[in-house]
Structure 1
Amino acid sequence: MLIYKYYPYGGQQRDFMRIALRCLEAGHQVDVYCLSWQGDVPDGIVRHLVPVSAISRHVLYQRYTEWTQAALKKQSYDVVVGFSKMPGLDVHFAADPCFAERMRRENRFISRYLPRYQHFLRYEQAVFGADRRTQVMILSPQQQKDFTAHYPGCEDRLHMLPPGISRDRLPGDDTEAVRTAVRDQYQRTPDELLILQVGSGFRVKGLDRSIRALAALPAALRQRARLLVIGQGRTTKYRRLARRLGVGDRVEFLGGRDDVPRFFAACDLYLNPAHYESAGYTIIEAIINGMPVLTTDACGYAFHVRQAGAGQVCPSPFRQKDLNARLHEMLISSDRHNWRSNGLAYVDKVDVFGMADTALAIIESAARLEQVPV
């Protein structure tokens, strides 16, 4: 398995770990090649740190690819699974959106000629090009639409995965007690409206949009509302933005955490106005915990919000005033009870746990295919 960086709180990294552990449970040997690793290495996983460096990201990834491809030639692996787009993969886990589509939407046609963008387009072509054989695990209908539009002929190699929510994300029987305990711990009164945003990579997650929406609330409501931010990332410019907009005391950064389900119980609304996101697992986690969700249609799992009837989705093109208005409406809406009950019932209507099992079947199938002479 090839992954550039592992740390415990990233969505891609959590998916990687679920799939790696499921492969181990099935009796397979799992070797991982990465540039860096934060946290413990589970028993059974053989970790290889790739000793390359570079100033620019795309050069670093090129050197990583060259090193790993040379290393893999000396081994006898049955299947190579990559969690980022790169050459030489038997199976690719599409954690990222279609890069070619992102370039089109952002009108970056001139940027196509810069080395950085050429690198990412070339690596995407190495996975999705019509002459490739890489089997691709995708996460959302939006990905399927975008990849097939830019890479005709890849359709038969795309495999939709169900979400991979951990069962420990389900609400327990002590939800009200947990809600009270968390609010007491952080000295929050019962009538305060706690807005939760979870995810590392604050720029892509649209944290600036969240802060602006909070600041745009009417004064009386703004004084009752507080934005809690969970995730790893640089906070300086977001703290500065919050202070400039007069809500510096209404935004709290709680860092990366392992106890996120406690905050699903304690908070009143989940906010995820991302610029783009292939999936967005925390959207589903919020839904099945009964939290009303406000997100953007740039998130792959936004369709679950509509399907569940558990909140609202901002359409593209994004408009800050639209997000502001929807946040205001949702915080005072009488539909809050319906959104909550619809979300709690959603877990019984769709498969939100089966990712790792489906991924294992795809990986095993690819391994068998690779052993058949062509």
Structure 2
Amino acid sequence: MKIAIVRQRYNPYGGAERFVERALGALVQEGAQVTLITRSWDGAPAAGFAQITCDPPYSRLWGGRAARDASFARCAQQAMAEGGFDITQSHERIPGCRIFRAGDGVHAAWLEHRARARARGGLTRWLDRLSGFHRYILAQERAMLTHPALARVICNSRLVAEEMQRYYGVPEEKLVLIENGVDLEHFHPRLAAAHRVELRGRLGIAAEAPLFLYVGGGFERKGVPRLLRAFAAMASQEAHLLVVGGDRSLKAMSRLADSLGIGERVVFTGPQKDVRPYYGAADAFVLPTLYDPMPNAALEALACGLPTITSTSCGIAARIREGENGYVGDALDLPLLTRHLEALAAPGRAAAMRDAARASVQDLSLAAMAERLVALYRSLA
């Protein structure tokens, strides 16, 4: 098979990029001729596949992000049309691809969630939709999902599949559920034995103190301000919180923690290339995200045996069994989030859920994900 995969840029911390890396590796091992169509893939593994660079100029002053994405889309469309590929799989909203992987979810759904969080009325929602960037993405999303060339949409969670039908009426036969894979050896409960004592000692956190972990960027979308407020409302003052990830608002969030009186119990680490020591040190994982199709960090946390608190608008919620391996609630319900934190901070509660947490993702190995991808490509080739 001659396959093209389209992704505009490489971000070493991005979940979509990690999926692309794994897909590329699986396809190369299968003997496929793989080409990556990208604007920039600097800093990423590049063995075994060809690369087409689409980096046309665009106006940063007039059009900004929309102009950037449009210029790449036009170049990628030309590369797909001229490459003689059996399969074209895009991770960007580009009409004309044969497979679209909806790793970023449904943009129309994200705008609805954001509007609800900001308590916006009908007028401001309408103004949001008139934004040049959002208007461009919505138009591209609709054009791609209704394009005659589109054969399949890879959904990384049931949440995304349901939204594809709800917002755009994508036929069920076009939707394929392939959840993200996780390295079950790399992310394992044994990390606790390797890192719990050392990292807690280095951070000044008592060995028996309840320790919650958040991993990710995009602090506003993924709920860090709400998490800090819910954490501050806990009756117990013994729990600690690790916030691992980079964001432009990192200093502002640190100031918020101080203003809430929890600054001494919250550690902001910034971005980390290796998050495994933090999974090993923690008791539980928390991601009260406003919208997240299928976060790799939550998969990794569950694989490490960490019971997980998340929201109903997160794809991982489908794998959470209330009180068995975690808790799920509305992303904006702060009192409920506080109760969930307190439940997992109770002595022995998180530890009792570790086996169930690990078991809930045991079927999501990298090999299983690769097999599902290859089966899909073969069915369409």
| TM-score, normalised via structure 2 length | 0.86
Structure 1 portions without partners, runs of 5+: 369-374
Alignment of 1:168-187 (within 5 A): 168-171=185-188, 173=190, 175-187=192-204
What amino acid maps onto 1:248 in structure 2?
G
What SS does the aligned partner of 2:268 have? strand
Structure 1 position 130, deviation (Å) = 7.2
Measure the CA separation in 2 of the matches of 1:151 and 1:97.
Answer: 13
Measure the CA separation in 1 of the matches of 2:169 and 2:31.
Answer: 36
- Residues 284 and 350 of structure 2 are in contact (CA less than 8 Å); yes or no, is this contact kept in structure 1? no
Mapped pair 1:9 → 2:23: no
Which of these residues, 69, 91, 94, is aligned with residue 61 of structure 1? 69
Structure 1 residue aligned with 2:227: 210
Mapped pair 1:144 → 2:161: yes
- The Cα offsets for residues 96-151 of structure 1, whole Å up to 9 and x where unpaired, read as 22222334453624433443222111111123227553411101111111111222
Measure the CA separation in 2 of the matches of 1:352 and 1:68.
Answer: 31
What amino acid maps onto 1:69 in structure 2?
Q
Mapped pair 1:95 → 2:103: yes
Measure the CA separation in 2 of the matches of 1:39 and 1:116.
Answer: 27
Structure 2 residue aligned with 1:50: 54
- Residues 213 and 278 of structure 2 are in contact (CA less than 8 Å); yes or no, is this contact kept in structure 1? yes
Mapped pair 1:311 → 2:326: yes
- The Cα offsets for residues 256-302 of structure 1, whole Å up to 9 and x where unpaired, read as 33432222221111010101000122223222322121111110111
- Residues 308 and 342 of structure 1 are in contact (CA less than 8 Å); yes or no, is this contact kept in structure 2? no
What SS does the aligned partner of 2:47 have? coil
Mapped pair 1:41 → 2:58: no
What SS does the aligned partner of 1:37 have? coil
Mapped pair 1:253 → 2:272: no
Mapped pair 1:274 → 2:301: no
Measure the CA separation in 1 of the matches of 2:201 and 2:111.
Answer: 46
Structure 2 residue aligned with 1:84: 92
Mapped pair 1:189 → 2:186: no
| TM-score, normalised via structure 1 length | 0.88
What SS does the aligned partner of 1:119 have? helix
Alignment of 1:208-247 (within 5 A): 208-218=225-235, 221-222=236-237, 224-234=238-248, 235-247=250-262
Structure 1 position 19, deviation (Å) = 0.7
- Residues 129 and 154 of structure 1 are in contact (CA less than 8 Å); yes or no, is this contact kept in structure 2? no
- In structure 2, the CA distance between the partners of 1:83 and 1:217, relative to structure 1 (3 Å rule), is same
Structure 1 position 347, deviation (Å) = 4.6
Q: CA RMSD in A?
A: 2.4
- In structure 2, the CA distance between the partners of 1:136 and 1:312, relative to structure 1 (3 Å rule), is same
- Residues 298 and 316 of structure 2 are in contact (CA less than 8 Å); yes or no, is this contact kept in structure 1? yes
Tell me the percent identity.
25
Structure 2 residue aligned with 1:156: 173
- Residues 98 and 152 of structure 2 are in contact (CA less than 8 Å); yes or no, is this contact kept in structure 1? yes
Structure 1 residue aligned with 2:373: 359
- The Cα offsets for residues 331-365 of structure 1, whole Å up to 9 and x where unpaired, read as 126533432232233355x4454222212222343
Structure 2 residue aligned with 1:371: none
- In structure 2, the CA distance between the partners of 1:307 and 1:53, relative to structure 1 (3 Å rule), is farther
- Residues 96 and 150 of structure 2 are in contact (CA less than 8 Å); yes or no, is this contact kept in structure 1? no
- In structure 2, the CA distance between the partners of 1:307 and 1:123, relative to structure 1 (3 Å rule), is farther
What amino acid maps onto 2:213 in structure 1?
L
